[in-house]
């Protein structure tokens, strides 16, 4: 009979961070990942400077930027900082690095194992049954543990992107209310390629299919040749409804920790992985990272509500944002808010 102290479903950033901490504290940890390659996930791989505080080595970063172009229609401004403000990473490289950190501490990671059923103290996988004392669902936006717990998910961003083999100089975000609603389109350059994408929450104004068509149209206008590229999509769950359920925990996208405003999720996944691991180690642990994420999410909800009031108000807000970035005091305030 396979019996483990802690089983983690999913080897994304949240599961691997939790595994590293638990194993470092001499816990018996097993991570199960259904994919053959860790990190092979649809994602633009943008890391804000908060995420970079996790000592992610420069050697795995694709590009580092200390300025970002922000455009509204044909107006553009640059957010500028003295040090790296945002970087890009190939998620497979990030996965490899995080998996090696977890393994170094003694965690066991098994790939090609799909968890397909959850009971109170055991799971069934396509390779057999495993008993656990604690179970962590770090299994992303379509989490099987979240479904088992009966949690609803209504706040979902359908995010999609093209990866083109093209070198692009600047990292960029574009606002265009007619095309992308309250969301933005991004251009995230890597060394020899670039991710171009956007996201849509179909509950508001524009449906995901319309946004996809608008992205294609916009790419063509901007001179990005998407004819040979395939559009890759994945949901981002930002509907937080709890993370601790007796001996079962949710982290990252499974818990809905991602940002509904920007789609950023890697940093929040790591932060929540840290807290859930510490909570298992010490029942009295104060989940300060999770409290911080929830505070950010409450603030973002307020912004989202103002963006959703009407198209004309959103246009005014984005127009104002791009104009205000030209003032260095506002630029500093904006980048400070990210910290
Ligand atoms: C198009 C797109 C662009 C994005 N761009 C960015 C960005 O630039 N920056 C950013 O910070 N965030 C971005 N995100 C969000 C980011 O990808 C997620 O927030 C982040 O990956 C969440 O990490 P996680 O560990 O919670 O889950 P995931 O990274 O989704 O990892 C979950 C893992 O669980 C595995 N799994 C799932 N079910 C099972 C099962 N039943 N059995 C075994 N294994 C299972 C999956 O294979 C996966 O490896 C983007 C998302 C999308 C869709």
pLDDT band at 338 (very low <50, low <70, confident <90, very high): low
Q: If you take atom 38 of ligand 1, which residue's CA is the nearest one? A: 139
Q: If you take atom 15 of ligand 1, which residue's CA is the nearest one? A: 265
- 79 CB near ligand 1 (under 6 Å): no
Mean pLDDT of 158-187: 93
pLDDT at 182: 83
What is the average pLDDT value for the chain, to the nearest integer? 92
- 34 CB near ligand 1 (under 6 Å): yes
> DSSP code of 260?
T
Q: If you take atom 26 of ligand 1, which residue's CA is the nearest one? A: 252
Ligand 1 pocket, mutate which of 15, 38, 41 (most atoms under 8 A from CB): 41
Sequence-ordered strand ranges (E) for 35-180: 46-48, 61-65, 67-72, 75-80, 86-89, 108-110, 115-118, 122-125, 128-137, 156-164, 171-175
pLDDT band at 339 (very low <50, low <70, confident <90, very high): low
Domain boundaries, the chain: 1-42+90-154+238-307, 46-89+156-236+309-339
Q: If you take atom 29 of ligand 1, which residue's CA is the nearest one? A: 12
- 12 CB near ligand 1 (under 6 Å): yes
- 10 CB near ligand 1 (under 6 Å): yes
Q: Which residue, 99, 78, 116, 104, is CA-closest to 36?
A: 99
pLDDT for residue 160 is more than 80: yes
Q: What is the spatial distance between Cα 204 and Cα 305, in angstroms, rounded to a whole number? A: 11
Give the homologous superfamily in CATH for domain 1-42+90-154+238-307.
Answer: FAD/NAD(P)-binding domain (3.50.50.60)
222 φ/ψ angles, rounded to the nearest 5 degrees = -85, -5
- 263 CB near ligand 1 (under 6 Å): yes
Task: Give residue 200 CA to ligand 1 midpoint distance, Å.
Answer: 17
Task: Give residue 165 CA to ligand 1 midpoint distance, Å.
Answer: 23
Task: Give residue 208 CA to ligand 1 midpoint distance, Å.
Answer: 19
Task: Give residue 316 CA to ligand 1 midpoint distance, Å.
Answer: 33
pLDDT band at 337 (very low <50, low <70, confident <90, very high): low
pLDDT band at 147 (very low <50, low <70, confident <90, very high): very high
Q: Are 165 and 207 in contact (CB under 8 A)?
A: no
- 182 CB near ligand 1 (under 6 Å): no
What is the bridge-based pairing of β-strands 61-65 and 86-89? antiparallel
Ligand 1 pocket, mutate which of 20, 46, 263 (most atoms under 8 A from CB): 263
pLDDT for residue 171 is more than 80: yes
Task: Give residue 42 CA to ligand 1 midpoint distance, Å.
Answer: 7
Q: Which residue, 159, 177, 180, is CA-closest to 318?
A: 177
- 260 CB near ligand 1 (under 6 Å): no
Nearest atom within ligand 1 for CA of residue 188: 8
Please state which of the ranges 75-89, 154-168, 215-229, 308-322 shows the lowest mean pLDDT: 308-322
Q: What is the CATH number that goes with domain 46-89+156-236+309-339?
A: 3.30.9
pLDDT at 200: 87
Q: What is the spatial distance between Cα 76 and Cα 125, in angstroms, rounded to a whole number? A: 51
Q: What is the pLDDT of residues 61-95, one digit of tens each?
A: 999 999 999 998 778 888 888 889 899 999 999 99
Residue 57 token pair: 């080595």
Higher pLDDT, 323 or 147: 147
pLDDT for residue 335 is more than 80: no
How many C-beta atoms surround the C-beta of residue 331 within 10 A?
19
pLDDT for residue 331 is more than 70: no
pLDDT at 333: 62
Q: What is the pLDDT of residues 240-250, one digit of tens each?
A: 999 999 999 99
Q: What is the pLDDT of residues 260-315, one digit of tens each?
A: 989 999 999 999 999 999 999 999 999 999 999 999 999 988 888 877 776 777 77
pLDDT at 334: 62
- 45 CB near ligand 1 (under 6 Å): yes
What is the bridge-based pairing of β-strands 67-72 and 171-175? parallel
Mean pLDDT of 50-65: 95
- 13 CB near ligand 1 (under 6 Å): yes
- 15 CB near ligand 1 (under 6 Å): yes
Task: Give residue 270 CA to ligand 1 midpoint distance, Å.
Answer: 11
Q: Is the dihedral of CA 245, 236, 32, 19 positive or negative?
A: negative
pLDDT at 181: 84
> What percent of the chain lies above the pLDDT cut of 70?
94
Q: If you take atom 7 of ligand 1, which residue's CA is the nearest one? A: 46
Nearest atom within ligand 1 for CA of residue 139: 34
pLDDT at 82: 83
Q: Are 281 and 27 in contact (CB under 8 A)?
A: yes
Residue 237 token pair: 């769950």
Rounded to a whole number, what is the distance in angstroms from the first to the last CA of the chain?
47
Highest mean pLDDT among 18-27, 82-91, 321-330: 18-27
Q: Are 289 and 271 in contact (CB under 8 A)?
A: yes
Residues forming beta bridges with residue 158, ordered by sequence position: 200, 235
Q: Is the dihedral of CA 88, 92, 98, 100 positive or negative?
A: negative
Mean pLDDT of 34-44: 97
């Amino acid at each position: 009979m396979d019996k483990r102290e802690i089983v983690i479903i999913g080897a994304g950033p949240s599961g691997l961070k939790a595994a590293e901490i638990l194993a470092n504290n001499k816990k018996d940890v097993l991570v199960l990942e259904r994919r053959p390659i860790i990190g092979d996930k649809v994602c633009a791989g943008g890391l804000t400077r908060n995420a970079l505080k996790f000592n992610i080595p420069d050697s795995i970063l694709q590009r580092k930027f200390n300025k970002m172009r922000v455009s509204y229609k044909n107006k553009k401004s640059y957010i500028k900082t003295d040090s790296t403000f945002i970087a890009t990473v190939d998620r497979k490289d990030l996965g490899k690095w995080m998996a090696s950190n977890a393994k170094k501490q003694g965690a066991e990671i098994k790939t090609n194992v799909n968890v397909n059923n959850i009971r109170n103290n055991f799971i069934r996988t396509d390779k057999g049954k495993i008993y656990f004392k604690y179970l962590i669902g770090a299994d992303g936006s379509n989490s099987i543990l979240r479904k088992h717990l009966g949690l609803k998910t209504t706040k979902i961003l359908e995010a999609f992107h093209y990866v083109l083999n093209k070198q692009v100089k600047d990292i960029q975000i574009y606002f265009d209310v007619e095309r992308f609603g309250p969301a933005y389109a991004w251009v995230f350059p890597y060394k020899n390629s670039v991710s171009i994408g956007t996201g849509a929450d179909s509950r508001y104004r524009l449906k995901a299919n319309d946004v996809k068509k608008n992205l294609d149209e916009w790419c063509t206008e901007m001179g990005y040749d998407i004819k040979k590229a395939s559009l890759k999509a994945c949901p981002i769950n930002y509907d937080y409804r709890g993370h601790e359920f007796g001996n079962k925990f949710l982290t990252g996208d499974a818990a809905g920790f991602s940002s509904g405003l920007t789609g950023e999720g890697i940093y929040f996944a790591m932060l929540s992985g840290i807290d859930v691991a510490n909570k298992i180690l010490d029942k009295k642990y104060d989940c300060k990272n999770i409290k911080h994420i929830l505070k950010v999410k409450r603030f973002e909800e307020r912004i989202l509500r103002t963006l959703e009031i009407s198209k004309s108000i959103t246009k005014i807000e984005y127009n104002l944002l791009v104009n205000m970035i030209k003032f260095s005091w506002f630029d500093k305030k904006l980048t400070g808010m990210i910290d």
